[in-house]
Structure formats: C-alpha cells, structure tokens
Structure 1
Amino acid sequence: MEAFLTTLLLTAIVQTGDRAQLLCAALGQRFARPVLLTIGVALACGLMALIGALGGVVVGTWISLDALRLFYALSLLFAGLGMLAPRRPVDTLPGWRTGPLLTGMLGLFILQFGDKGQFIVAATAARSHDWVWPLIGGWAGTVLGLMPAIIWQERLAAWPIRPARIAAGLVITAIGLALALGAFGLV
C-alpha cells in the first residue's frame, strides 16, 4: 500500500504546471467532448504507468538494494529539478484531425513517454518488487494531476501554478537529495 500512496502522491504533484497539463488544457478547449478526451488521457496514463511499473520490476531484479535506493532517490531528485527548470513550449497539436480520444491518448503518450512520472513509477516498482500498486498509484496520480487542466482549462492559468510548482520542486529535490545521500551512506 505504501507503493500505491507514494506513487499516487508524487505523480500527481509532478504534473503541476507541467507540459502535459498545458496540453490537456489546450485539448480541453479545442474539443467539446471532454469525456472522450478524458478517456484518451486515462488510457495514455495507464499505458505509461504499465511500461514504467513492468520496467521497474525488471530493473529491480538486476541491481542491488543500494542501487535500488539510489535509483529511487535519483528519480525524485531529477523530478524535482525538472519542476524547477523552465518549461519548453508545448505543441498543442493543431494539425491533428484524429478526434478527442486519439489526439488525447497519442499526444499525451508521445509527450510523456520517459517523463519524470514514469521514472517515479519505475523506481517505486523496482524498490517494492511489485508492479501492481505502483502501476495503479502512478496511473491514478497522473490522471488526478491532469484532470484539473481538462476541466478548468484557461481558468487554470489564473491560479498561482508557478509558485506551487517551484515549492513542490524544492521539496521533491530535497527529499531526493537526502535519499541519495542516504544511499551513499553519507546521512
């Protein structure tokens, strides 16, 4: 259950102000059918979490316990640093004529493949030697992190996203750094 809750919380937080949220907001404005867009986004999140969880379990069988601790610490450290880095503009896929379901699913999958949330899912699965709970937590957390963008769209831009993103990035970076120092036996 710890793997579920940790992954749920972390993957939801790292979506704050992320390019995936911007894409979801843009697609929410473009398509009048948010249900189909939400299904497409949920499918993409599920596939990414599945790949991360299964990959993490495989990696977890190859490396030692100390390396697993470092892998988890680095996933958090780089996720936090990624939240502090400036965002590149997001392509809102204006030329895609595939409808809300496929545009949401394929666009988000392409944008998010190999992103920080997927590495958090993989590192949690590797550390826990379980793929089911990190998969479910990663899927639910990512969906929860992206749904406000689909629902509130341009109203989300009025919220203080940047300060929240910086605060969350600092906290996650500090936790990752502390865990990395612990993995090296320095703390």
Structure 2
Amino acid sequence: MDAFLTSLFALAIAEFGDRPQILCAALVIRFGRVQPVVWGLALATLVNCLLSAWAGSQVNQWISEEPVRLFYALSLLLAGVAMLAWRRPVDLLENWSTGAFWTSFLGLFILQFGDKGQFILAATAARTDAWIFAAIGGWIGVMLACLPAIILQERLAQAVPVVAMRKTGGTVLVAIGIILAMSAWGVL
C-alpha cells in the first residue's frame, strides 16, 4: 500500500501544471473530442508507468537499501526543483496528422518518457517488492493531474491557481527530498 499511495500522491503533485497537462488541454481543444485524448493519455501513461516501475524493481535487486533511499530522495528533490524552474514550451503537435487518439497516445508517451514522473516512479518501485502497486498508483496520480485539464481546458488556469500550486508542490517535493536525503546520509 505504501508504494501505491506514495506514487499516487507524488505523481499527482509533480504532474500538476506540467507539460502533459497542458498538452492534454491543447489536444482536446484542437480535436474537439475528449474521449480519444483521455484514452490516449490513459494508455501512454499506463505504458510509461509500467516501464518505470518495472525498471525500478530491477534496481531494487542490484543495490542495497541505503542507495535506494538516496535515489528516492534525489528523485523527489530534482522533481521539486524542476517544478520551480522555468520549463520549455509544449509542442502542441499541430503538424501531426495521426488523429486524436494516436496523436494523444504518441505525443504524451514521448513527452512523459524520461520525465521527472518516471524517475519518481522508478525510485518508488525500487523501494518495494510490489512494483505493480507503484505503477498503478503512479498511473492514477498522472490521470488525476491531467483530467482537470481535459475537462476544463483553457478554463483550468482561471479556475485553479496553477502557478501557485506548481510552486507549492515543487517546494513540498524539495523539502521532502532534502529530509529523505539527509536521512539516507545519516544526518537525521
């Protein structure tokens, strides 16, 4: 249950206001259809979460607990820093002519691949033997972060203080990452 809840909350925080959320809203506006974008997001995120969690479970077999704890702490710390830092604009995939589902699936898969969420999920899965629960929790977390953008589209920025939430989430992840890193180094 720890892996499930940890990955759910960490990814929901880390992905809110991030590029996948913006791309989801842009794709719904572009195609005028919600369902294919939701299905594309769901499948792309599921594949990415399964890959990340499985890779993390492999790390668990190679190294001892202390480096795994440090890996987890650093993944949260760096995700928080990324949330506080400037980010590149999102490519809205306007030149792609693959249809709503395939554009959503491929675009979001590529965008999420190697992103901070994957590192958080891999680090979470590395801490446990239940990597599948980490994957499911991470998938739900990303879906919870992106569904408001799909539903509200451009109204999201008006309805929710996205920048403030992003800064708050980044600060929380940095603080937790620092505390966990100090604990892993034996300082706390």
Summarize deviations over 1:31-69 as a string: whole Å, max 9, x none.
122111100100000000011010000011111110010
Give the corresponding residue for 1:109: 109
Identity percentage of aligned residues: 55
> How far apart are 1:97 and its partner, in Å?
0.9
Query: Which whole-Å CA distance do the structure 2 matches of 1:111 and 1:16 have between them?
Result: 14
1:151-170 pair list within 5 angstroms: 151-158=151-158, 159-170=160-171
Residues 28 and 149, structure 1, Cα contact 8 Å, conserved in 2? no
Give the corresponding residue for 1:141: 141
Name stretches of at least 5 consecutive residues in structure 1 with no aligned partner: none
Query: Which whole-Å CA distance do the structure 2 matches of 1:135 and 1:163 have between them?
Result: 28
Summarize deviations over 1:97-141 as a string: whole Å, max 9, x none.
111111111001111101111111111110012211001001111
Summarize deviations over 1:152-179 as a string: whole Å, max 9, x none.
1010121311011101100110000110
Structure-1-length-normalised TM-score: 0.98
CA RMSD after TM alignment: 0.8
| Matched residue SS, 1:14 | helix
Q: Which letter does structure 2 place at the counterpart of 1:12? A: A
| Matched residue SS, 2:86 | coil
Query: Which whole-Å CA distance do the structure 2 matches of 1:129 and 1:79 have between them?
Result: 23
Query: Which whole-Å CA distance do the structure 2 matches of 1:122 and 1:148 have between them?
Result: 25
| Matched residue SS, 2:114 | coil
1:1-187 pair list within 5 angstroms: 1-158=1-158, 159-187=160-188
Residues 80 and 171, structure 1, Cα contact 8 Å, conserved in 2? yes
Summarize deviations over 1:51-90 as a string: whole Å, max 9, x none.
1010000011111110010011011101111100111101
Query: Which whole-Å CA distance do the structure 1 matches of 2:104 and 2:154 have between them?
Result: 17
Name stretches of at least 5 consecutive residues in structure 2 with no aligned partner: none
Query: Which whole-Å CA distance do the structure 2 matches of 1:168 and 1:50 have between them?
Result: 24
What number of residue pairs does the alignment pair up?
187
Moved runs in structure 1, 4+ residues, more than 4 A?
A: none
